[in-house]
Every structure is written in C-alpha cells, then in structure tokens.
Structure 1
C-alpha cells in the first residue's frame, strides 16, 4: 500500500506528486527587496528535496509591507528581476512546482532581523518607516502606533496585491498563497484585537473579513488563470476575545465560495499575550476543524517533524497535506528520509542517485528526476 503522504494530490489545477509542502520561510537576506545569491542557494537545495511543492518566502507587495528591511519584495521591476534570476537557476535543475506567498506585514513591519533582536525600528531611524494597520494600535505598547488605513490606503494595498499577482504570473509561478496569518496585515483586519474600525471594515465578522476577501478576489482575478490561489490563516489568536477557530472556519468557507484552492492552517502571531501550549502537531486540531468545514484541500503545519507523524495526520483525515518548515531547514532531504521510512518512491536528481544508503536498498526507490 502506498503511504498516504506520497499519494498525488491536486491543488486547484496544479498536480503535486506527494503531499509534502515546503512552507514559506523568510530568510531576511534580501537587498532593497531583491533576492540575493543566498536565496539561490537556499531555494536551490530545497528544489531537489523531493517535496510536492516549494513555496517562496513572504514577498511583500509594497516596500513598507516588508517585515524587515532585509525582506524579499515583489513590487517593482528590480524585485521581479531578482526573483526571475533565482527561478531560472532553480528550474534548470528541478521541475518542482513553485508557489509564492504574497504578504503585507502591516503594523509588524519595520523591524530588525530576528538575529538582531526583531524589535521595531523607529520611522525616523535608518532602515525604518511608519507602519500601517486597520487601526492605530501598535503590536507592542512600546512600539510607534501605526497609521490607520483610510480608503485611499486600502485601495493602494489592493492594487499592490493585484500588481504582485500579475508579476507572479509573468514569472511563471505555479501558485500564489495569500498570507492572512501570524499577525500580519490581513490577519490584523480579521482579529477584533487589532481591528477597532467603525466603518464597513470593522466590527462584525462580516465586516472584518471584508478587506481580506477583497484582496483575495483581486488576486484571484489577476492570477487565477495561471494557477491556484491559496490562503494561509491563523486558526486562533490564542488570546481570549481574539480571532477564533470558529471564525476561521467561516472565513475558509467564504474563501472556498470565491474559488480558493486550499487553506493552510497555522495560528498565533497577532498579540503578545498569546498563550500557546507547544507540542508536536499542536495545530493539527485546528486544521481538522477547518477541514470539516470545507471541501477544498487543507494543509496542516506546525511542529510536524517525523514521517510517521505526517502520515498519521493525512491517513487520519486531519489534513490533506502537511507543510514542513524548520524541519526541512534542518534536514533538506526530509522528504527522502520520509520516503525511506514509509517505503515510498521519490524523485531525486541523477547526480545524487548513488547516495542511497545500503541499509535502505530494497526498502524504497530513488527515482531519477
């Protein structure tokens, strides 16, 4: 019997050879929003991992939408050309489908890199800028308050998402993921903890979902003929009175009705008071609740580190695929090792075919790409 983890799956019209998704992981190594040789090396090794799809890290749709000054963007010709250079090199050696996450950090923008502390950089300091958000509420009390977006500001951001989607299509990207999780701008509109607006974009659940759904619609219109558009959500804020899994399920249903091809369920990141009980697969129950509410594929993520664990998530019906992040940074051949553990077949570059350990021979098959 073929392991469920290695069964093919379709995300919209995109066929994946297995159910291992490499999640977007910011590298904080761009220059003026442009990918560098670090990204070529980083994405190049992940492209030969054997996963079903590789997702490029959060690409900001505006310069002020970057988390840090060292984040990747997709907002002008220079940032597009930098991604094109990396993609050209990667695709010379791998045919893995490539997705890109489009994002705007909102009030969590203008920060230092994580290894430099990750704190906010003041707007009048080098590498800093004034942030924007649904409401003038800072992420941390000590942060500068963001500018509450007016109607013109919302129009500018919608247009930026559409323009980035057009650039993604021109790059030949196979799928787009919208980032509506981890406390970034679209999530800030969803959560009542960060959205205190009194217009049509705040208050009721319907109003709080309005702007994220408008962004989805415009991206779907700009990219949908090229490939699937999916959404990453935070299933809960892990804070009383915040965004909940019940609301997430309703949001997922609204996205499905608009043509969303898959939902990736993460959690948290919206409020510093969050209380998360970290444990292996701690977010899987959230993906299960979303899966029970929709018919499109649902992807689980979060401390999924072992092949048997990933197989159990899919075989048990908790999700249709799993997204791997830190585990694949630690072990870029994670899908190979999962195939070995589960007796599956996986494609590898012919240059690496002889790497199969003797103790694995006969247990699984390395199939040249």
Structure 2
C-alpha cells in the first residue's frame, strides 16, 4: 500500500478511517471530497495498519521512559516547554469487543468491555490568597440539572452517561479563578489499568509536566483511578471530581423525602462540600442514617437507607481529596468534565450497538486519540514515517 498512496493521500485515508462514524461513511466521504475510490474494507485495513504502527511507536515511547533512571523520569525533555499547570484526568468508557479467545468472555456475557481514556492538559491560572469563588455557583443549585446529573452518574442509573451536551459540561465549572486550558493530549486503550497508567505517565513526561509549578490529578472515586495516582502521580495534588461528589450528596439528600424537603438539605450540604466542610456533611448523613436504620444485605439498592449508606461511605473514603477551597486558591481544576467530554468524542467513532471490534480495537483507539490531541504527535509520526519505512526495507534487503 505504501507504493499505492502518496504521504498526503495516506493522511486523508487514515483521517477518514479514524474520524468518520464508520468505515462505510469514511469511504463515501473520501470519494465525495477527495475523489478517492476506496472500499470500506480497504479503508479499514489501511487505517488499522497505520494504527498498528502508531501503537508500536507509542509502546516504544513507554519503554524508553521506563528505561530512564528514576531521577531522569522527573525531568523535562530537551526543548519541551513546561506548563504553568499540568492536569491529568482519567475515566472509562465502553465499547463492544468480540474475540472468541477473550479470557474475559463467557457464554452468557455481553460483548461490552471497558476502554480507558486519559486527558493531559496544559493550563494557565493565577494563585490567589483567598478563595476566588467561595459561593456555590448557580449551576449546582438548578433542580433539573442536578436530577439529570444524578441519573447519568454511574451507580445511580445506567452504565453510561452519554447524553449531556459537551458545551454544557464545559459551562458547569464556569467560575472566577477557573484555570484556562491550553493544549490537550489524549491517551486511550483497551489494555488493563496497569498498562494504561504507564501510557499516561510516559505521555506526561513527554509533555514536560515534571516542570510544571502546579500539578493536579482529577478523577472520580473509582479505586482504579487512585491506584494509578499512587503508582505514577503521587506528587500531583489528588482531586475528587466535584460533580461526582455532589451527585452522591444530592442522592442522599432526597432519598426517602419529598423533593422540597430534600432540596433544602441538598443546598446546604452542597455549599458545605464547596466550602471544604466535608465532615459537616458526613455528620449530617450519619444522623440521617441513624433515622433510617442501617441497610442489610437484603435491602434493595434503591432503598433510602442504602442510598444514604452508599453516599456516606463515598464521602468518608474520598474526603482527603475534597479540599476544594484550597484547590481553587491554587488555580487548579476541580471537575473531570474535560475527560468525560473526551470519552464522548471517542464514543462517536468507537461505540454503537452495531459496532463490534476485535484485534483492530487498539490501533483504532490510538488513532482516534491522536486526532483529538492538540499536540504534534501525529504530525511527527507522518514526518518520520518515510525514514522508518526506508530503514525497514533496507534491513529486510540486508537480511535477505
């Protein structure tokens, strides 16, 4: 195929394969916009081939990082600018994966599997002596919005939150002192979380994040997230996504109450969370739990006592990552909406009831993430590819 396509055509082919909703759609767009007549199957093979090359390049980058002495891993690569604020966020999504040899699959299982997505943002912000936004923003005391958020958060409703408009997500954290995002790089994989963590920390090294004056790791309460933080980013400020915390508080406030009564409790508790007074909310929930009684193993998950117990456990476990006034003074982000929006962008290409992936899933995830990144990773790949191919052919010729 390298002899069939010029480098310019290769870029167009891979862009269509990775960015359009499907390979048939990509083939139609190439014919209409670039006058390239290529079948969907050929488009798939071409895209996955380049994706395989990018996966190999990505894995080599990880290996090179791991080969560095530990002190060198905490330095900035030559000629790499350092951001004022470095922010790492991670989350999960789902796609359909079919492989008869998949050890996770059984006869009664569905094909849905987890993908892992990370966003690495360079940002800029100011440090403040006082909390630049001590009052809870109005967006968090909007009844309709809070009901929608609670429905979409995992654990209180279905497995995915994919309906909220991305622009609205970005507006949720509009507040004085909010850091300004500058450049994003995206990492996505179907591999296990240990390998994903290595991809994240390798990319953070390449971005020069070690030199940032302020660093934040923002995620929801999943233990796998904080395992990655402990292994690779323990020198970053750990921040629990504020919106996840708030939805647990909301669910507990309205559980077993008429909405008006529950809403009054929620508004007070939400302000306490915003103000960093997590222990006051925990104390209020403990009283609420006493009034409702402790749930048993037979108690339905939707019972008020079970909902309050779940929220109480969540806040107890996460309270060390909930000093939101201090994070705002430091000019750090307090929500993970950036990575959640990115997951939805990846879903447009990778997720669908009609989409089943197999061995091509990792190359595709890598290319989709590359095209969402603001960094020059993909441009550098295309620039260096002819040299790699020439070297490979020369090696093959010598070996023959």
TM-score with structure 2 length normalisation?
0.24
Higher RCO (C-alpha under 8 Å, 6+ residues apart): 2
TM-score with structure 1 length normalisation?
0.26
Q: Which has the higher strand share?
A: 1
Larger radius of gyration, structure 1 or 2?
A: 2
